[in-house]
Amino acid sequence: STMWTIILALSAVALAAYYLSGFGNPFKKHGIPYRKSLPIVGCSWDLFYQRETVADIMQYNYNLHKDAKYVVYYEFMQPVFVIRDIELIKSITVKNFEHFVNHQTLITGDSDLLFSKNLFILKDDEWRNLRNAASPTFTTSKIKSMFVLMNDCAKRYGELLSKLPDDKKVLELKDVFTRCTNDIIASCTFGINVDSMTDRENKFYVYGRQATNFGRTNIIKFFMARHFPFLYKLFRIKIVDPKIEKFFMDVVTENIKTRVEKGISRPDMIQLLMETKGKELTVEDIISQVFIFYVGGLENVSTMMCFAAHEVGINPKIQKKLQDEIDDALAKNDGEITYEAMNGMKYLDAVVNETLRHYPIAAVTDRKCTKRVCIGNRFVVEEGSYIQIPIYGLQHDSQYFENPDTFDPERFMDKSKKFNSGAYLPFGLGPRVCIGNRFALLKTKVLLFHLFAKCTLKPCEKTRIPLQLTRSASAMIAEDGYWFQIEPRREICPVHVHSDSGSKVY
């Protein structure tokens, strides 16, 4: 047995040397820039071993060859084409969309009901039908109807943070923003009122945090679902814990049942999706959509809020300019903020846009070729090819953004600081762009508005400058949290907060 062990070890070393040298690599033969990979695992070990942040890994792949239109690396044994050229990206996502309708396979079948039927996962006609059915939920009028729910919740949090006792003013913002985001989404999506600052262990918050834990275990599960779906199905692996799945399924099912029986109508996502049920959407479809909006919103919006608050908090000039715009909006609207007034706030918009550029929600997005096609002059994409669009790489490329590593909202205000809008893709591009992007943007703006209307952030001893990203997650998250001292503002425009007992002015 010792001899066989030696033979296998030597074979593995020889195979590794063969791969690393590039011999037999079709991309080397054709002069295509590629990243040398390990046998079998390809370059996937970077994420598993967690030696680098996800941003560093994607940036390394993007910069393999700075003059190339695309480069290649291996994800396990599958080649991944990283498209660096903006025109090729437009061609793939828009012009030749019919050849690139789908994302790479992630989860299929019924083993994960909460994931397998959502818009990001579905393919071809199933995706088209559900997208067409769900699109009316995100029209301007429907989003505007949910603004009131968001605004009331965000105002309460702004008021709470402005009245913290002296010994509680130093806070880790991720916890606070996740709780606030949880309450807003519970209201706007499920029609349920939750107070996560008071009831700190409520099931919505606890299960939501568990469902958004994208550490090493879930990274392995996602990779298995993508590259070894037969094993994923064979072992009946589930991304979502069964008790969490049951909780959310019961909540939505009972919610729908109660509304139908009692004729209840509320301006939230379940209601809007219910209005299309019977036409194209089933109850299972509704459950899957509201769950993915909840999970995606809980993690993405709270993290986006943290990055935005961090950059504003360490830049006094940016904070002052943002607060001046907020005060002006309140003064013009008698202490209230309306949907229209918030959408007219150019600097708030610029702060959020720059946050999404500097810290995109997703470092990459992808497509899978469903039919052989030639795009550009010479780029032939074979059926089954895996295409990756490097959002983080593009948005940190000095060719497209001046001083890309500097947080500068003015680049979205000052027309003289031009940048190539084709390289700004925080929510993707084309028909498969994130359907909930306006919903996510509004939640973020409402939260930032009420935070800086009532409070000023000041760096404290625990504030990391510059911010360091963690290597222990598949998403961009700060290594040591987002710590700030929160101080109440003085001499500010009063904000009207509605309650059951009437309107109060603070």
CATH number of the domain residue 449 falls in: 1.10.630.10
Does 412 reside within a domain?
Answer: yes
Q: Detail the residues annotated as belonging to a binding site.
A: 434
3-state secondary structure 426-472: CCCCHHHCCCCHHHHHHHHHHHHHHHHHHEEEECCCCCCCCCCECCC
Mean pLDDT score, 406-429: 86
The fraction of the chain above a pLDDT of 90, given in percent, is 56
Q: Detail the residues annotated as belonging to a binding site for heme.
A: 434
Does 325 reside within a domain?
Answer: yes
Burial of 1 (0-12, 13-18, 19+ CB in 10 A): exposed
Give the tens place of pLDDT for each residue, 176-209. 999 999 999 999 888 889 999 999 999 999 999 9
pLDDT given for residue 367 in this prediction: 96
Give the tens place of pLDDT for each residue, 37-96. 766 666 777 776 778 898 999 999 999 999 999 999 988 778 899 999 999 999 999 999
- What confidence category does residue 24 fall into, taking pLDDT thresholds of 50, 70 and 90? very low
Is the pLDDT confidence value at 232 over 80?
no
List Cβ neighbours of 199 (8 Å cut-off, separation of 6 or more).
none
The β-bridge relationship of strands 379-381 and 170-172 is unpaired
Q: Which of 184-188, 315-319, 349-353 has the lowest mean pLDDT?
A: 184-188
Does 228 reside within a domain?
Answer: yes
Does 498 reside within a domain?
Answer: no
Domain range for 228 is: 1-488
List Cβ neighbours of 407 (8 Å cut-off, separation of 6 or more).
311, 315, 318, 354, 355, 358
Q: Which of 66-75, 103-112, 186-195, 298-307 has the lowest mean pLDDT?
A: 103-112
pLDDT given for residue 499 in this prediction: 44
Residues in the chain: 506
Is the pLDDT confidence value at 263 over 50?
yes
* Alpha-carbon gap, residue 238 to 60, rounded angstroms: 31
Q: Which of 14-18, 376-380, 461-465 has the lowest mean pLDDT?
A: 14-18
Mean pLDDT score, 384-398: 96
Is the pLDDT confidence value at 141 over 50?
yes
Does 140 reside within a domain?
Answer: yes
Report the number of distinct structural domains present in the chain.
Answer: 1
Mean pLDDT score, 429-436: 93
Does 315 reside within a domain?
Answer: yes
